[in-house]
């Protein structure tokens, strides 16, 4: 017994079996005891250490489970042959954080919603209703395509407000555009060539790139995607934002819509991915119906999100697959679980079912229209040096500045004055000639911030009001 | 005016401007009016139809926005040239649902948690606390790696209960193993060859396959992954479940742990992906520390989830990246947003900070141990015809049946009796020789269901208790 020194501290918080286990493990890993050595019997060790036999059993059990010792029936426990390994106790972790990016006082980010108008009390209410013992089954995994309750609500909503024709079966609920697009990419095969809008949505383009798919940039003009250029290209799949082109804000014209649908109908491999990211927010007249509803074949994959209509951080998006692709999808993703928390799915379904979502949208449409009008009013006096476009829908506009300075210089000058604007070049395949343009999102700003933001921006850029006395 | 017939129904629910818009759009798309035709002025049409001029403005505005007509300054509105397109009004959708798979009365699924013990009232409480006007900033997108509050809680938890050494910075929060593994795959490059356990976790293997990465199957025996076979293979990355091998339930022995860590240390491209999916649940002694904590280099990517410890439908998982890989990750995923809802992240962080998570784990550990003991007790009388293994941890065990019948025959017989068990062959690269084995999960079953399930299963298989009078 003398060659195995174990010191127990019975006043220590660590259980006795663990003290024994740790000392034995240390001795074995540091090779202080020879491989093959027989351990003292449980009874003997328990007597020697004056602890219960159960304590020794626990220690030996743990050592056996981790493979430091092995039990030989009717003989005893033996030290195992393990490779040399210095087990280092974990060092206490030290918390470090990344430096935050320079924060502008007023950020015209296109990805923000109005935080003050969110119906927190209603959302708390649906949370309270859904998080309930009676819904205990919602703890387990649900339908990999998203729960039927939510898909049914979305299908009804899409039919009534976006003219999208689909059954709940055709809907796949996911965590965002960047999570859904790779799934689309996989079912469209390796030979697909993607047409992307130029300028366009960089995240989607990154996803094509990351999945090593060919992508061709198709120019966007004041009618939206140049369908003639698409026609001439090698593209087989067109990724488009027809309701409110991102980032230019143009609405795809009826002629172009028809041309696009005819392009997709011309060849079986031609597919349109319609990203309707903010189709809910159109300020004049009724929303423009989705391409999907005008499609006579099975050529349009409709994609949308609750990021703009509810909150970006909810991470719920969805897509409508044409039936032939749905079959392919089921075959390819048979093992995948939905990435969207199930309680959240049911909270959203309930929120929609109770009519809260429509109510919220109607409120937000009015609010964003008001903010948009205010932003335009603030900018008007600076025309024609500063002109606006893309203001028919959504939560951002484009301003074009007649100025000798470059986009970078102007953006930098704005940032120095505490205002962040988003140069259009970063959304383009290559920098454009001509006057620099900027994307101005207004969703997340208060009216005061909009007024102040434009004032600071124009001062920073040295712009004068047309009829200003200055 | 006579050639443009517009009929208004002032009693109709549809707004007047919309009635005008729809009729004009239909006439244009159906080419009843010639391209280039000048529309009546707003004033004239408003007088003719006896509606306000604003109504006409809204209709013309919508038609202009959609590109059916175009405005020529100081002249008027003209019908645009659009390609022929039959706009079909969406048909009412019909709801159909997929047929549910044959549901067994008692399902020994390995992927279920105990639904009755979930602390619903506590979870409702954190939801109520987090969904609040004061947290309005949580509506906007947060840190793409997951919010710092949650990463800090996870890092502290991992250090104390799993021996994992990491800073919150090294943590990436995601929606599940199948969402995180593709991110790992991308940063490990195209030349990586993946070693997967055989039998192993099919979902991970599908992810390697879907991302077109080479994978080699390495056998698992009673000590876990065969590290000699790994050594001989071409693999550069080993995907392993050391704490409780899935599905066999073995605990990787200390010798194999050392061998595995030495393998990873031998060459810079050798990386271990340690999937610690149910490391919290070890029933004898203390939990076996994670490989990550024993790693002396930067060779282990630690991966885990709240699916077993809290609920599968929460869809929150995480990984700890070694610092060199963290840099690569930041470069590759600069444009990605987190897929995990931010309110959920803060609910979980608060739940952990308040100590509720530890409390829940302690309760569940006791509960699952009790269920496991009950399951083993029920099976013991059928030994040696039915033998158990993999019972040291987790929420499932393996039973091996000494029987001339095939795995398929036995699984089918069980299903006919209303019991679903999971044949081990479906987790293997190819069917094994020898006695069939089955995975029996017990997490989601009540004690009554466990007793009833075993009874039905043994009856269906014609097994007799050893000392039974029958």
Task: Tell me what the pLDDT averaged over chain A comes to.
Answer: 88
B102 shares contact with chain A (CB less than 8 Å): no
Identify which of B136, B142, B152 has the shortest CB distance to residue A95: B152
B123 shares contact with chain A (CB less than 8 Å): yes
A390 shares contact with chain B (CB less than 8 Å): no
Task: Tell me what the pLDDT averaged over chain B comes to.
Answer: 88
Task: Enter the ipTM.
Answer: 0.80
Contacts of A140 in chain B (CB under 8 A): 111-113, 115, 311-313, 444
In chain A, the percentage of residues whose pLDDT exceeds 70 is 92
Report pLDDT for B388: 95
Identify which of B97, B175, B285 has the shortest CB distance to residue A175: B175
Confidence band of B82 (pLDDT split at 50, 70, 90)? low
Contacts of B18 in chain A (CB under 8 A): 285-286
Confidence band of A286 (pLDDT split at 50, 70, 90)? low
Mean pLDDT, residues B224-239: 97
pLDDT for residue A66 is more than 70: no
B139 shares contact with chain A (CB less than 8 Å): yes
pLDDT 10s digits, A146-178:
999 999 999 999 988 888 999 999 999 999 988
Verify whether the Cβ–Cβ distance A313 to B111 is below 8 Å: no
Confidence band of A289 (pLDDT split at 50, 70, 90)? confident
pLDDT for residue B164 is more than 80: yes
Report pLDDT for A3: 53
Verify whether the Cβ–Cβ distance A336 to B178 is below 8 Å: yes
Mean pLDDT, residues B305-326: 96
Verify whether the Cβ–Cβ distance B286 to A18 is below 8 Å: yes
Report pLDDT for B83: 54
B259 shares contact with chain A (CB less than 8 Å): yes
B3 vs chain A: nearest CA distance in angstroms? 23
Taking only residues 346 to 385 of chain B, the set having a beta carbon closer than 8 angstroms to any beta carbon of chain A reads: none
Verify whether the Cβ–Cβ distance A258 to B152 is below 8 Å: no
pLDDT for residue B94 is more than 60: no
Report pLDDT for B285: 67
B148 vs chain A: nearest CA distance in angstroms? 8
User: Which residue of A14, A17, A66, A119 is the best one to mutate when testing the B interface, meaning the one whose CB has the most B CBs within 10 A?
Assistant: A66
A311 shares contact with chain B (CB less than 8 Å): yes
CB-based contacts of B358, cutoff 8 Å, min separation 6: B157, B352
Cα(B306)–Cα(B66) distance, integer angstroms:
48
Q: A441 near A453, Cβ under 8 Å?
A: no
Backbone angles phi, psi at B36, to 5 degrees: 90, -10
- Higher-confidence residue of B46 and B315: namely B315
Mean pLDDT, residues B397-402: 96
Mean pLDDT, residues A48-64: 83
β-bridge partners, B174: B317
| A444, closest residue in chain B (CA to CA) | B140
pLDDT for residue B76 is more than 60: yes
Cα(B14)–Cα(A446) distance, integer angstroms:
34
Six-digit token pair at B247?
Answer: 């599905």
A256 shares contact with chain B (CB less than 8 Å): yes
A313 vs chain B: nearest CA distance in angstroms? 5
A203 vs chain B: nearest CA distance in angstroms? 6
Cα(A231)–Cα(A240) distance, integer angstroms:
14
A426 vs chain B: nearest CA distance in angstroms? 13
Confidence band of A101 (pLDDT split at 50, 70, 90)? low
Classify strands A437-441 and A422-423 as parallel, antiparallel or unpaired. antiparallel
In chain B, the percentage of residues whose pLDDT exceeds 90 is 63
Verify whether the Cβ–Cβ distance A315 to B296 is below 8 Å: no
3-state secondary structure chain A: CCCCCCCCCCCCCCCHHHHHHHHHHHHHHCCCCCCCCECCCHHHHHHHHCCCHHHHHHHHHHHHHCCCEEEECCCEEEECCCCCCCCCCCCCCCCCCCCCCCCCCEECCCCCCCCCCCCHHHHHHHHHHHCCHHHHHHHCCCCCCCCHHHHHHHHHHHHHHHCCCCCHHHEEEECCHHHHHHHHHHHCCCCCEEEEEECCCHHHHHHHHHCCCEEEEEEEECCEECHHHHHHCCCCEEEECCCCCCCCCCCCCHHHHHHHHHHHHHCCCCEEEEECCCCCCECCCCCCCCHHHHCCCCCEEEEEECCCCCCHHHCCEEEECCHHHHHHHHHHCCCCCCCCCHHHHHHHHHHHHCCHHHHHHHHHHHHHHHHHHHHHHHHHHHCCCEEEECCCECCEEEEEECCCCCHHHHHHHHHHCCEECEEHHHHCCCCCCCCCEEEEECCCCCHHHHHHHHHHHHHHCCCCCCCCCC
Q: B1 near B48, Cβ under 8 Å?
A: yes
B73 vs chain A: nearest CA distance in angstroms? 17
Confidence band of B429 (pLDDT split at 50, 70, 90)? confident
Report pLDDT for B99: 47
pLDDT 10s digits, B323-336:
999 999 988 887 78
Report pLDDT for B305: 97
Q: Whole-prediction pTM value?
A: 0.82
DSSP string for residues in B400-448: EE--SS-HHHHHHHHHHTTEE-EEGGGGSSSPPSSS-EEEEE-TT--HH
B267 vs chain A: nearest CA distance in angstroms? 17
Report pLDDT for A47: 82
- Higher-confidence residue of A287 and B138: namely B138
Taking only residues 417 to 446 of chain A, the set having a beta carbon closer than 8 angstroms to any beta carbon of chain B reads: 444
A144 shares contact with chain B (CB less than 8 Å): no
B423 vs chain A: nearest CA distance in angstroms? 17
Identify which of A67, A164, A337 has the shortest CB distance to residue B255: A67
Contacts of A66 in chain B (CB under 8 A): 251, 253-254, 257, 288
Mean pLDDT, residues B194-220: 91
Verify whether the Cβ–Cβ distance B167 to A96 is below 8 Å: yes
pLDDT 10s digits, A358-404:
999 989 999 999 999 999 999 999 999 999 999 888 999 999 999 88
In chain B, the percentage of residues whose pLDDT exceeds 70 is 92
Six-digit token pair at B363?
Answer: 């309760």
Cα(B399)–Cα(B379) distance, integer angstroms:
9
pLDDT for residue B89 is more than 70: no
User: Which residue of B30, B57, B65, B265 is the best one to mutate when testing the A interface, meaning the one whose CB has the most A CBs within 10 A?
Assistant: B65
Confidence band of A331 (pLDDT split at 50, 70, 90)? confident
Contacts of A17 in chain B (CB under 8 A): 285
pLDDT for residue B455 is more than 80: yes
pLDDT for residue B100 is more than 60: no
Verify whether the Cβ–Cβ distance B336 to A178 is below 8 Å: yes
Report pLDDT for A232: 97
Six-digit token pair at A333?
Answer: 């993703």
Verify whether the Cβ–Cβ distance A65 to B17 is below 8 Å: no
Verify whether the Cβ–Cβ distance B131 to A120 is below 8 Å: yes
Contacts of B83 in chain A (CB under 8 A): 255, 258-259, 262
pLDDT for residue B338 is more than 70: yes
């Amino acid at each position: 017994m003398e060659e195995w020194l174990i010191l127990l501290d019975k006043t220590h918080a660590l259980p006795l079996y663990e003290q024994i286990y740790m000392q034995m493990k240390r001795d074995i890993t540091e090779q202080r005891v020879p491989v093959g050595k027989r351990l003292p019997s449980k009874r003997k060790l328990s007597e020697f250490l004056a602890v219960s036999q159960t304590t020794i059993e626990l220690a030996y059990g743990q050592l056996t489970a981790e493979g430091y010792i092995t039990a030989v029936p009717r003989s005893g426990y033996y030290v195992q042959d393990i490779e040399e390994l210095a087990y280092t106790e974990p060092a206490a972790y030290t918390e470090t954080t990344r430096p935050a990016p320079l924060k502008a006082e007023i950020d015209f980010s296109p990805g923000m919603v109005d935080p003050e108008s969110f119906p927190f009390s209603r959302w708390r209410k649906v949370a309270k209703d859904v998080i309930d013992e009676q819904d205990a089954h919602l703890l387990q995994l649900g339908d990999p395509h998203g729960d039927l309750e939510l898909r049914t609500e979305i299908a009804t909503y899409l039919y009534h407000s976006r003219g999208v024709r689909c059954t709940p079966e055709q809907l796949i609920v996911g965590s965002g555009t960047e999570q859904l697009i790779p799934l689309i990419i996989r079912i469209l095969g390796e030979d697909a060539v993607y047409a992307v809008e130029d300028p366009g949505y960089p995240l989607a383009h990154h996803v094509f790139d990351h999945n090593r798919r060919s992508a061709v940039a198709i120019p966007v003009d004041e009618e939206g995607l140049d369908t003639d250029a698409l026609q001439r290209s090698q593209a087989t799949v067109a990724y488009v934002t027809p309701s409110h082109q991102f980032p230019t804000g143009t609405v795809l014209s009826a002629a172009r819509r028809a041309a696009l649908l005819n392009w997709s109908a011309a060849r079986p491999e031609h597919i349109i991915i319609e990203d309707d990211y903010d189709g809910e927010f159109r300020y004049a007249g009724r929303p423009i119906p989705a391409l999907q509803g005008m499609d006579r074949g099975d050529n349009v994959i409709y994609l949308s999100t609750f990021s703009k209509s509810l909150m970006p951080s909810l991470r719920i998006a969805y897509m409508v697959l044409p039936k032939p692709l749905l079959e392919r999808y089921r075959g390819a993703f048979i093992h995948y679980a939905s990435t969207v928390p199930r309680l959240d799915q049911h909270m959203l379904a309930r929120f929609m079912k109770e009519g809260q979502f429509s109510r919220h949208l109607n409120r937000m449409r009015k609010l964003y229209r008001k903010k948009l009008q205010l932003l335009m009013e603030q900018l008007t006096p600076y025309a024609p040096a500063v002109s606006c476009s893309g203001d028919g829908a959504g939560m951002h506009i484009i301003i074009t500045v007649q100025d000798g300075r470059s986009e970078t210089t102007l953006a930098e000058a704005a940032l120095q004055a505490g205002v962040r604007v988003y140069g259009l070049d970063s959304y383009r395949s290559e920098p454009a000639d001509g006057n620099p343009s900027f994307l101005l999102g207004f969703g997340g700003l208060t009216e005061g911030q909009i007024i102040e933001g434009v004032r600071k921006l124009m001062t920073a850029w040295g712009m004068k009001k047309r009829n200003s006395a200055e």
